[in-house]
Every structure is written in structure tokens, then in C-alpha cells.
Amino acid sequence: MDIIASELRFPEGPIAMPDGSFLVVEIAGKTLTRIDAQGRKSVIAMLGGGPNGAAIGPDGACYVCNNGGLGWHSDPDQGLRPAGTPADYDGGRIERIDLTTGEVTRLYDRAGDHLLSGPNDIVFDRHGGFWFTDLGKFRPRSADHGGVYYATVDGASIREVIYPMSSANGIGLSRDETRLYVAETAGARIWEFELSAPGEVVRQPFPSPNGGRMLFVSPRFQRFDSLAIDADGNICVAAIFEGMILVISPTGEEIAALPMPDVFPTNICFGGADLQTAYITLSGHGLLVALPWPRPGLPLNFLND
């Protein structure tokens, strides 16, 4: 495991760029940050709130899920960790960042009359639309339901497609884009949704609580964060608390459990010439690390085309 960058403020949403650099959001730092091939950091944009997930869109811009802000607790051994909703929480939103100028455009902060609560993770389909999760927000005596949305990059269309979920987090598409995978944090579950068209889900009947099929549930004391899909269709999901990356087959079997030196391995992406290097955010200790992976990652639309 090689350290690409350190002293990041709870990094997530890593993107391995074609030029050898990396993008990450720093949730506690409230920034979109570029890391060059030598590990040097520079701030592309100050976003405020809590920038959480990121993806490159069809126009080459970076699209960020902003959860509106988190509270923080610092532990001398385990590092930084989220701690509820802060007093300065300023609402969830989807933002577009021009990577050349750093200009930030707010695309969405609501779907119809429903305000976004805590947008978390994002993936683009081949048609140029994007799916994103909303984790919700947690308060001392109450919490929001989460959900999954589909939107367009022009700021003209957003729909709540999957609702409710207790804490929708990581999200990814199968190679043929007929299946959508969503990681649910609180119950350490992975849900599979059949897709019939861009932004359209074929809902499973009762007793499914959300129209999906439960593909996998962890038997360990874990919570699931972000995920990425490899070239064989396996779901590689970050499991926090126990601190590992789980590899789940498309049929729901656990085929690997890779321990990480941090209780908050939050995100994984693939890069390198053959997409066979995994880049993982070890967020508690503020690291972006790289390690060889036994299989290539699945190419992402508009990034690895």
C-alpha cells in the first residue's frame, strides 16, 4: 500500500484522472482538492457545507454531492470521524465545478417540493444522466429517510426514484447498466435494482421496502460506505467501523474481505493504465492510498472512455 497524499480532512469521492492526478473532496475541509502525481495538494474550489461524493460528467466538469455539513469528533488513535448534524448545516445540494476556473454552480437543492437532505454519492450512466444517493441527516432524537435520485446535468430535471431507504450511501451501475447497486449504511446491506430505461426502476413487489432486491447483508459489525464495480461485475464496498473492503459477487456472495489500517475506509476507485490499481480513502487518518488489485475496475462513463 502506497500513500498518495496525507493530511487530508476526511477525504472521500476519489477520482483517478487520466493525466495521473487525483481529485478528492475533503468533507471536513469543505473543499474539492486536486492531488498531482507527486502528491502535492491544491484547492480547486471552496464548497462549504460537506462535499461528499464526486464524479466527472459528460462536459468534463466535476459534479459533487454536498451533504450540507457534518459535526466532527477527533480521536487520538482513530482520527477524525463524523458526529451528527452541526449548527451551521446549510442544506444538501448537487454542485457543478468547472475544473479549469473553479467556478461552482448549484444545480439542485430540491426535488419538487422536497428539499435534499444529505446527498452522498454519485454515478453517471452512458446517457449523461446521473444517479445519486441522499443519506439523510441524523439529529439527537430524529433522522431523515434517505433515497435515490436521477437528474440531468442541465439543472432541468431531477426525480426521486427510490424511497425510502434508511441511509442510502454508495451507488454503482452494472456494465450493461441494467442494474443499479446501492449500499445502505446503517444495516450494512447492498440493494440491487433492475433498470428498464435511464432513470427508471422496475420495482419489486411487497415485501420489498423500496422496490429493490436485497443482494447482500453483512454478518459483521460494519456499516457500508461508498462502492465501485470491477470488470467482473463484483461490488467492492467500503466497510467502516471494522475497516475493510468487501468484494461481493453479482449473485450476492462475499468473495474477499481486505482489512484496511483505518476504521474509516470510505471510498474506492480504480485507475492506472489498466485500471488495476485501487485508490482508497482512509478518511479517519486523512490518507489517499494505492494498492494493486487482482482485477481491473469497470471503466466509468466520461472518465475512462
What is the Cα gyration radius of the chain?
Answer: 17
φ/ψ of 109, rounded to 5, equals -130, 5
Does the model's pTM come out above 0.85? yes
127-171 confidence digits (pLDDT tens): 999 999 999 998 888 989 999 999 999 999 999 999 999 899 999
List phi, psi (to 5°) of 48.
70, 180
Q: Report the pLDDT value the prediction gives residue 305, as an integer from 0 to 100.
A: 75
Q: Which stretches of the chain drop beneath a pLDDT of 70? A: none
210 is in an annotated binding site: no
**What cell does 292 get?**
494493486
Q: Is 234 annotated for ligand binding?
A: no
Amino acid at site 85? T
Residue 169 counted as an annotated binding residue: yes
Structure-block grid coordinates of residue 109 = 437543492
Domains of the chain, each with CATH number or no CATH: 2-292 (2.120.10.30)
Burial label, 76 (beta-carbon count in 10 A; 0-12, 13-18, 19+): exposed
Decide if 116 contacts 110 (C-beta within 8 A).
yes
Distance CA 296, CA 87 (A): 43
The pLDDT assigned to 304 comes to: 86
Q: Which residues are catalytic?
A: 225
Nearest Cα to 289, choosing from 280, 277, 302, 297? Answer: 280
Strand ranges (E), 205-283 = 213-217, 223-229, 235-240, 244-248, 254-259, 265-271, 277-282
Residues contacting residue 102 through CB under 8 Å, at least 6 positions apart: 44, 45
Which one-letter DSSP state was computed for residue 298?
P
Measuring CA to CA, which residue among 216, 221, 222, 234 is closest to residue 278?
234
pLDDT at 273: 84
pLDDT digits (tens, 9 = 90+) for 193-202: 999 999 999 9
Question: Are the C-beta atoms of residues 60 and 40 closer than 8 Å to each other?
Answer: no
